[in-house]
Amino acid sequence: MNEHDIQGEELKVTLPSGEQVFAAAGDTLFDIAARHELAGVKTAIAARLDGEACDLHAPLKRAAHLSLIQPDDPEALEIIRHSTSHVMAQAVKELYPDAKIAQGPATDDGFYYDFQRAEPFSDDDLVKIEQRMRKIIKKNQRIVRHEVSREEALALFAEEGEPYKRYFVETKSGEVASYYEQGGFRDFCRGPHLSSTRRIAAFKLLSVAGAYWLGSEENEMLWRIYGTAFASQEQLDAHLHRLEEARRRDHRRLGKELDLFSLQETAGGGLAFWHAKGAIIRQQIEGFLREQLQTRGYVQVITPHIAKDTLFRISGHYDFYHENMYTLRTADDEEFVIKPMNCPGHVMIYKSGLKSYRDLPVRMAEFGTVYRYERSGTLHGLFRVRGFTQDDAHIFCTPDQLLEEVDDCLDMAETVFNTYGFRDVHYELSVRDSKNTDKYIGSDEEWSEAESALVKALEKRGLPHKRFEGEAVFYGPKIDVKVIDAIGRPWQLSTIQFDFNLPRRFDISYVDADGQHKAPYMVHRAIYGSMERFFGILIEHFAGAFPPWLAPVQARILPVSDKVSEYGEQLLSQLEDAGIRSELDRRADKIGAKIRDAELHKIPYMLIVGPREAENGSVSLRVRHDGDQGSLPTSEFIARAGKAIEERSLKG
């Protein structure tokens, strides 16, 4: 039975209140909602049928539950942004008819569209495109959905000379293809969309970048225009403020300005060089976590940077991850893999000797450097690199030790993130699809025990969490920990991941109290994730102004003139003897210039010294962010700074 066969047929519609009414097939969802005076019908931007988003003016085709999507609904932004992207593409075609349109999806924070054009778009072009978009929006053009046969869609886009649209029809559509049209502009799309262009309340075009067609470097380069849209101007303004703040905190810019790290194409993209000051911060980050490992009973190990392909064939990584691995062949024709992950090496250490249940748990940790291939177009500062160091740990334990081990992992994550000032922390639990268990490794009992341990540990610590059914990887359930930084951005960091796969593949075991050999439970655990990415996050979280315990230079001595240079040298020795990382500004500049330079370099403590300070053994203290603190004896400053550093205080 097709759509025409049911036209006019009475269909049952269940309203949000639970009331059931009848409507004729072919009536629009908006008309049905208006007829029954559903709340918010005038402000709705789309509808839901049986929970699935659809156009507000879509015809009713079946009996279903009907509800409305309002501008503040979680699904609304994607619809608003997708519709705005179509308006942007329409504006581009009107201004630059030679441009060919590729793809234009909504994203987590906006939208983009890819275009094929001989010349890249300039900033001036973005201004013109924005102006044309506002004209289109003002015209209140209807956005209409069309459904045609696949062949008709291909013919339509062939006539328009749009090869990329034809590609998506060929690869994405079934027998029926849908496209949306407004003001003569058409694009292949599943929708849903707003009902008219005037429903777009607030948008902004942001930037232009190159993007390979389909993300492959073997394909032609297209020009990608990024933009964003919101349900209100206030929301857009707040977002643009966050973007500006993010630019101010960009770790790539600050890393260069503060001489922390560099990425150099001569050596290859995605490989970080830690400069002296950055290395100091890394040592503090590692040292803090090593303290946690020591007190929590971890053994710290080191595994080789390369290993025979056999190791990764046994683990399964070679088959499923080969395209992301770096491999090499030796003179005697053996294949080696540059280490892409640490877990197989840790399993080999566990396997090197017989284990009793009395030896468990074994908590094995390593700051292990790994290398993974990433396409050059995906590399992004320290956030996406090819070589990085993981703060990896693997716990081998018995079933009755599970809860305590997971609880300790969560306790470590809480302790660490609180120290760095991440107060807003979110927890996500990924479990298997209970209706499709065949695709998962491990018995029902193992999955039940592992999931129960994760849930109980979260509940024991009173940690609210989101549960994601079917989101677990095939080898075990997991907890992901996300922190919210100083400007409200989420970052996924810690993972507590069960693994039923590797113990089986490597046939590892322990001798239980009953004398039987049993496979241990294996838990992957990382807190920082990777040192490079975590460092980048910290740079942006603190905007480069690290707390005293992390700062590469904790104090800088600023003599007012050469007359007190000798006192400055003496003071430098005192501070260094006290373990305070210090510098002496020996330049002949005026004190104001020295202070400004110290502030630009985000030094926590500035010690201004003149004849009076030299005479009575004191310093005039200036603290970053807090300004002048007055004069105090050198010994008092050393005690104050030492206490802040030892306690890892976020302030001086």
Give this prediction's pTM.
Answer: 0.86
For residue 633, pLDDT over 70 is answered with yes
Residue that finishes a domain, picked among 69, 92, 109: 69
Could you tell me if residue 257 is inside a domain? no
Q: Which of 478, 541, 601, 602 is catalytic?
A: 478
What confidence score (pLDDT) does residue 179 get?
95
**Predicted confidence band of residue 434 (pLDDT cuts 50, 70, 90):** confident
Q: Is 264 a catalytic residue?
A: no
Could you tell me if residue 352 is inside a domain? yes
Q: Is 204 a catalytic residue?
A: no
Structural domain count of the chain: 4
C-alpha span between 311 and 613 (Å, rounded) = 64
Note whether 375 and 508 are same-domain residues. Answer: yes
Q: Is 524 a catalytic residue?
A: yes
Residue 623: C-alpha distances to residues 61, 323, 482 (Å): 69, 51, 32
What confidence score (pLDDT) does residue 3 get?
52
Q: Which of 391, 392, 480, 499 is catalytic?
A: 392
What confidence score (pLDDT) does residue 438 get?
85
**Predicted confidence band of residue 1 (pLDDT cuts 50, 70, 90):** very low
Residue type, 505: R
DSSP 8-state symbol, 554: -
Say if residues 64 and 50 touch (Cβ distance below 8 Å). yes
What's the mean pLDDT in 594-615?
A: 96
Note whether 377 and 437 are same-domain residues. Answer: yes
**Predicted confidence band of residue 577 (pLDDT cuts 50, 70, 90):** very high
DSSP 179-237: EEEETTEEEE------SBGGG--EEEEEEEEEEEGGG-TTSPEEEEEEEEEESSHHHHH
Q: Which residues pair with 10 in a beta bridge?
A: 24
Give the residue from 455, 411, 408, 406 showing the smallest Cα distance to 430. 455
Q: Is 386 a catalytic residue?
A: no
C-alpha span between 57 and 29 (Å, rounded) = 6
Q: Is 392 a catalytic residue?
A: yes
Note whether 162 and 58 are same-domain residues. Answer: no
For residue 557, pLDDT over 80 is answered with yes
Structure token digits, residue 1: 């039975």
Could you tell me if residue 256 is inside a domain? no
Give the residue from 519, 304, 294, 527 showing the smallest Cα distance to 396. 519
- Domain of residue 562, CATH code: 3.40.50.800
**Both ends of the chain: CA-CA distance in Å?**
75
For residue 6, pLDDT over 90 is answered with no
Note whether 87 and 193 are same-domain residues. Answer: yes
- Share above pLDDT 70 across residues of the chain, in percent, rounded to a whole number: 99
- Chain segment 319-367, per-residue pLDDT in tens: 888 999 999 999 999 999 999 999 999 999 999 999 999 999 999 999 9
- Domain of residue 220, CATH code: 3.30.980.10
Q: Is 601 a catalytic residue?
A: no
- Chain segment 134-187, per-residue pLDDT in tens: 999 999 999 999 999 999 999 999 999 999 999 999 999 999 999 999 999 999
Note whether 510 and 577 are same-domain residues. Answer: no
- Domain of residue 384, CATH code: 3.30.930.10
Note whether 581 and 478 are same-domain residues. Answer: no
Q: Which of 372, 380, 384, 640 is catalytic?
A: 372
Give the residue from 125, 128, 103 showing the smallest Cα distance to 113. 103
What confidence score (pLDDT) does residue 217 get?
79
- Chain segment 289-324, per-residue pLDDT in tens: 999 999 999 999 999 999 999 999 999 999 888 999
Task: Kindly list the strands in the beta sheet with 605-609, ordered across the sheet, starting from the edge strand earlier in the chain.
Answer: 582-584, 555-559, 605-609, 618-623, 627-633
What's the mean pLDDT in 594-618?
A: 96
Q: Is 516 a catalytic residue?
A: no
Residue that finishes a domain, picked among 69, 89, 109: 69
Give the residue from 321, 302, 287 showing the smallest Cα distance to 531. 287
Say if residues 283 and 275 touch (Cβ distance below 8 Å). no
* Average pLDDT along the chain: 94
Could you tell me if residue 396 is inside a domain? yes
Say if residues 416 and 288 touch (Cβ distance below 8 Å). yes
Residue that finishes a domain, picked among 42, 69, 96: 69
Q: Which of 90, 284, 390, 497 is catalytic?
A: 390
Q: Which of 343, 485, 499, 624 is catalytic?
A: 343
C-alpha span between 556 and 603 (Å, rounded) = 7
What confidence score (pLDDT) does residue 381 get?
96
What's the mean pLDDT in 541-559?
A: 97
What's the mean pLDDT in 386-410?
A: 96
Note whether 511 and 577 are same-domain residues. Answer: no
- Chain segment 96-149, per-residue pLDDT in tens: 999 999 998 999 899 999 999 999 999 999 999 999 999 999 999 999 999 999
For residue 551, pLDDT over 90 is answered with yes
Residue 86: C-alpha distances to residues 26, 98, 227 (Å): 26, 17, 12
Note whether 150 and 87 are same-domain residues. Answer: yes
Could you tell me if residue 291 is inside a domain? no
Could you tell me if residue 20 is inside a domain? yes
Q: Which residues pair with 369 in a beta bridge?
A: 389
Say if residues 93 and 113 touch (Cβ distance below 8 Å). no
Residue range(s) defining the domain that contains residue 629: 555-646
Phi, psi of 206 (to 5 degrees): -110, -45
Q: Which of 394, 594, 622, 624 is catalytic?
A: 394
- Domain of residue 34, CATH code: 3.10.20.30
C-alpha span between 65 and 54 (Å, rounded) = 12
Beta strands in 503-590 (DSSP E): 510-511, 517-518, 521-526, 555-559, 582-584
Note whether 240 and 107 are same-domain residues. Answer: yes
For residue 2, pLDDT over 70 is answered with no
Note whether 355 and 492 are same-domain residues. Answer: yes
Residue type, 5: D
DSSP 8-state symbol, 162: -
C-alpha span between 613 and 30 (Å, rounded) = 78
Q: Which residues pair with 367 in a beta bridge?
A: 391
Note whether 392 and 485 are same-domain residues. Answer: yes
Q: Which of 132, 166, 193, 524 is catalytic?
A: 524
Note whether 48 and 136 are same-domain residues. Answer: no
C-alpha span between 199 and 194 (Å, rounded) = 7
Say if residues 140 and 195 touch (Cβ distance below 8 Å). no
Could you tell me if residue 29 is inside a domain? yes
